[in-house]
Amino acid sequence: MSQQQSAAPAPAIATVARRRDWWRDAVIYQVYPRSFADSNGDGMGDLEGVRARLPYLRDLGVDAVWLSPFYASPQADAGYDVADYRAVDPMFGNLLDADALIRDAHGLGLRIIVDLVPNHSSDQYEWFKRALAEGPGSPLRDRYHFRPGKGENGELPPNDWESIFGGPAWTRLADGEWYLHLFAPEQPDFNWEHPAVGDEFRSILRFWLDMGVDGFRIDVAHGLVKAEGLPDLGGADQLKLLGNDVMPFFDQDGVHEIYRQWRHVLDEYAGERIFVAEAWTPTVERTANYVRPDELHQAFNFQYLSTEWDAAELRKVIDRTLEAMRPVGAPATWVLSNHDVTRHATRFANPPGLGTQIRTAGDRDLGLRRARAATLLMLALPGSAYIYQGEELGLPDVVDLPDEVRQDPAYFRGAGQDGFRDGCRVPIPWTREGSSYGFGAGGSWLPQPASWGELSIEAQTGTAGSTLELYRSALSVRRAQADLGAGDAVEWLRSPEGVLAFRRGEFVCVANTGGESVTIPAYGRVLLASGELTEADGEAKLPADTTVWWTTA
């Protein structure tokens, strides 16, 4: 059997992908291109590699594929420093490869969502290079945030903002001026008060929409507009404020006018194209502002991603999310892992309170058991769900990468993000054996653990009880059950401490987040369970860290 195919017949996704409001209950799979599949043996994943593996994604049962950046870039931040938004970086292929990937995906019934990076460009972007060359007073400097410094000779930064990656958010040039970069110095922030910036990005949107993409994931969607005058934070602990408070460079109200303009562009095109916001906001209520009817369609639910494996805390964030999205008519989204955080199979293996960035492997068996249970819980909730490549294999973070192979720019700057994002970006395994476990013929750009082979698609395909087959079954059941998918409410059921139980029509989900087995009512016919379940006399014994799906029909 091909490593790209599952034992089950392909679901009828092509029909589903064409229906209206597909995005309200879509399961969207994130592909990190450099780590997905390498077609030419250079150790780096590419678009042709993604294209060749599309049948695997179809058979998995997802509705759409989100591609992390593949644009021309010096790769100072893994492609999130874009030098040309209308070109493919040669390491990934070319525009013909992108066109072929989009066409093949559509032929398989899959939608394609591409990353867009509007907060900042690369320092090799033509505008920025010309702004540097022309010097102070150049009109092109107005398209970024250039400022004179403070101090007697301008030797101090214009304000006290810090880079998300650590260190000051300003870099001084030889001509004396400073420029703003909320991330790496190679990523200067655009000035969205300048009309040329908006004009350029509306043109970029149309370029990719004309190519046939079905939507955009907007990187740092909360960061485009800065507070007037770029005010100091006044000594506040910036890292503690991130995601917990409105800041002068994040979640400013002015971003919403930009997205209303973008929505007009999107609505020029047929086929229900969508926008997805990466918007780190203090509350789900503020996140809801991004998905009002005339703005974006979805926004990542980072409050949910950041919640511990705890029934009470999960119920709070689920209720609050559904309540926040209901007035704006947008679907809730649910996500457990992505390319910026520790994979949840490792996160849940560690003691609570460590956050989304973890440096230790923890109890791997416990982490995987909880990750499987959390997945079934997530897929049972109303709205849309996101899957990060490899989580369907139960991949843990690789926490023991040697320092010399790390590439996360935050790792090389002090006092910023954790800097260990490389651990969730290690290329995924396709086969039991080989120099890169089927990733490509020439090894992989980050080293893979020796255990990768037994976690591969080949090893798990057709294996009863494997995490891959659990995902395939869950997505198949989700598609078949009329009460799953879109919606904005759950009916909570009485349950023991540490257990979440809710009903959606004739569907019931029960998740035991506690450390002991519990006895609960048997709600009907079992559809799927993340672990062993025993039933007798109308009751069921649900093990610790296990989720079960029932139908009462």
Instruction: Convert the pLDDT of each residue in 237-266 to its tens digit.
Output: 776 667 677 789 999 999 999 999 999 999
Residue 9 confidence (pLDDT) above 90: no
pTM (2 decimals)? 0.94
Q: Is 537 a catalytic residue?
A: no
Task: Give me the catalytic one of 219, 251, 278, 422.
Answer: 219
More confident residue, 110 or 415: 110
- Pairing mode, if any, of strands 507-512 and 499-504? antiparallel
pLDDT band at 402, cuts 50/70/90? confident
Q: Are 306 and 344 in contact (CB under 8 A)?
A: no
Tell me how far apart the alpha carbons of residues 486 and 482 are, in angstroms, rounded to a whole number.
Answer: 9
End-to-end CA distance of the chain: 36
529 bridge partner residues: 548
Q: Is 219 a catalytic residue?
A: yes
State residue 246's pLDDT score: 76
State residue 358's pLDDT score: 72
Alpha carbon distances (Å) from 254 to 191, 245, 251, 258, 438: 12, 16, 8, 7, 47
Q: What percent of the chain has pLDDT over 70?
A: 93
State residue 4's pLDDT score: 34
Q: What token pair was written down for 239?
A: 């890292």
> For the segment 47-79, what is each residue's pLDDT rounded down to a tens digit?
999 999 999 999 999 999 999 999 999 999 999
Mean pLDDT of 457-477: 98
- Among 276-280, 357-361, 396-400, 493-497, whose mean pLDDT is lowest? 357-361
State residue 393's pLDDT score: 98
Q: What sections of 63-194 are H helices per DSSP?
A: 95-107, 126-134
Mean pLDDT of 492-507: 97
Residue 16 confidence (pLDDT) above 50: no
Residue 423 confidence (pLDDT) above 80: yes
Task: Give me the catalytic one of 253, 257, 268, 535.
Answer: 268
Residue 334 confidence (pLDDT) above 60: yes
